[in-house]
Amino acid sequence: MSYGTTISVFLLALLASVAGGQEPDTKDQPTTDFSVEIQAEMNDLAAGDFKTREAAGQKLVARKLAAVDPLLSVIDKGTPEATVRAFELLRQLYRLGDDETNERIELAFNELAHSENPTVASRAEAAIEAGSPIRHKKAVAMFLKLGGQLRFLQTEKAEGAEENEGLRPIEYAIIDKKWTGGDDGLKYLRRIEDFRIQSEIRGPALFRIKGSKVSDDAIAELQASLPALVVQPRGPACLGVSPYSQFGGQMELQIHTVKPGSAADRAGIKVGDVLVKFNEHLVPDFETLVEKIGELQPGDKVPVEYVRDGVRETATVELRGWE
């Protein structure tokens, strides 16, 4: 008999004794592969006394990863009461757990969402949905901790918005030479809702800066899992502008946004300016501009010609890195 079946049978007996108004007798109950302490706490989850059940639940939550498999073992085959309690404790674990614990729970919930038991499947789907904001914020925090960068859309901040920084819409992500997450760290982009949600409207892009330590295979796998994601290779230098769309017959490189504090901003380039030349090269489109910037390094100083209000002007731009 598997340990999952053993615990399920055990909980059935415990709940039956509670329903009959008797205290459960655990003296001759079968044992499992779990530790004596965890086994005792699992037993107490079926106790008739609320305080005993609550204390056992909190002890299991405090065990984090060690409690996940014991709780999962009763979900598919346990009683309705045991299943509900196990799901609730796993959701508590997810809110409070470390990265390893959360990964194990996420994997389990995704598997349970395809269970043949419709009740289990629906509870797993509800748990996944309920955990979405937590997953998003933790993924954002881990991506930044590993040296990735996120550009958030500029929105008006309400009172207390600092606490919800990880929930602000994301414009793009950056991985450069400071990235320490390697290939495995890209999993955090998959957990950020802005990248997970697929729609006809293009979502956030990923700028892969030359020199970043991620493999082509890992990038290809990331794109396969996030079909709407656009990965844009870039050189180490950054000008800090984006263009208006060149669809609709527009045949000039007009600036749509200038990032505050960027090289372009410091050189006095403004929204609406039309770039004509960059470092003595004609730049009829944004792709050409990106190509020419990619040939340079942060700190290089180059001339930029642009037209503003019908007047051609020249500025010297000192390129910066992706910061």
pLDDT per residue as tens digits for the range 249-271 = 456 899 999 999 999 999 999 99
Between 99 and 274, name the one with better pLDDT: 274
* 198 shares its domain with 294: no
Between 77 and 181, name the one with better pLDDT: 181
* 226 shares its domain with 245: no
Read off the pLDDT band of 154 (50, 70, 90): low
pLDDT computed for residue 251 by the predictor: 63
Which three-class secondary structure string do you get for the chain?
Answer: CCHHHHHHHHHHHHHHHHHCCCCCCCCCCCCCCCCHHHHHHHHHCCCCCHHHHHHHHHHHHHHCHHHHHHHHCCCCCCCHHHHHHHHHHHHHHHHHCCHHHHHHHHHHHHHHCCCCCHHHHHHHHHHHHHCHHHHHHHHHHHHHHCCCEEEECCCCCCCCHHHHHHHCCEEEEEECCCCCCCCHHHHHHHHCHHHHCCCCCCCCEEEEECCCCCCHHHHHHHHHHCCCCEEEEECCCECCEEECCCCCCCCCEEEEEECCCCHHHHCCCCCCCEEEEECCEECCCHHHHHHHHCCCCCCCEEEEEEEECCEEEEEEEECECCC
* Residue 178 contacts residue 210 (beta carbons within 8 Å): no
How is residue 20 written in tokens? 């009959």
* 117 shares its domain with 143: no
Mean pLDDT of 285-300: 94
pLDDT computed for residue 201 by the predictor: 55
pLDDT computed for residue 195 by the predictor: 85
Read off the pLDDT band of 286 (50, 70, 90): very high
Distance, in Å, from the CA atom of 201 to the CA atom of 154, rounded to the nearest integer, reads 19
How is residue 113 written in tokens? 């969402």
Mean pLDDT of 34-39: 86
Read off the pLDDT band of 150 (50, 70, 90): very high
Choose the final residue of a domain: 111, 130, 149: 130
Distance, in Å, from the CA atom of 56 to the CA atom of 47, rounded to the nearest integer, reads 9
Between 198 and 62, name the one with better pLDDT: 62
Distance, in Å, from the CA atom of 271 to the CA atom of 259, rounded to the nearest integer, reads 10
pLDDT computed for residue 34 by the predictor: 73
pLDDT computed for residue 181 by the predictor: 96
Give the bridge partners for 209, in sequence order.
Answer: 234
* 126 shares its domain with 138: no
* 19 shares its domain with 120: yes
Choose the final residue of a domain: 73, 108, 130: 130
Mean pLDDT across the chain, nearest whole number? 83
Digit-coded pLDDT (tens) for 213-241: 999 999 999 998 888 888 999 999 999 99
How is residue 315 written in tokens? 């500025």
* 12 shares its domain with 125: yes
- Does 141 map to a domain? yes
Between 32 and 113, name the one with better pLDDT: 113
Name the nearest CA neighbour of 270 among 304, 300, 247. 304
| Domain assignment of residue 249, given as a range | 241-318
Read off the pLDDT band of 166 (50, 70, 90): low
* 33 shares its domain with 119: yes
Mean pLDDT of 108-131: 90
Which range among 28-37, 91-100, 131-140, 149-158 shows the weakest confidence by mean pLDDT?
Answer: 28-37
Read off the pLDDT band of 15 (50, 70, 90): very low
- Does 151 map to a domain? yes
Distance, in Å, from the CA atom of 145 to the CA atom of 100, rounded to the nearest integer, reads 16
Q: How many domains does the chain have?
A: 3
Choose the final residue of a domain: 130, 145, 160: 130
Mean pLDDT of 98-106: 88
- Does 145 map to a domain? yes
Residue 157 confidence (pLDDT) above 90: no
Phi, psi (degrees; rounded to nearest 5) at 321: -85, 180
Between 3 and 195, name the one with better pLDDT: 195
pLDDT computed for residue 26 by the predictor: 38
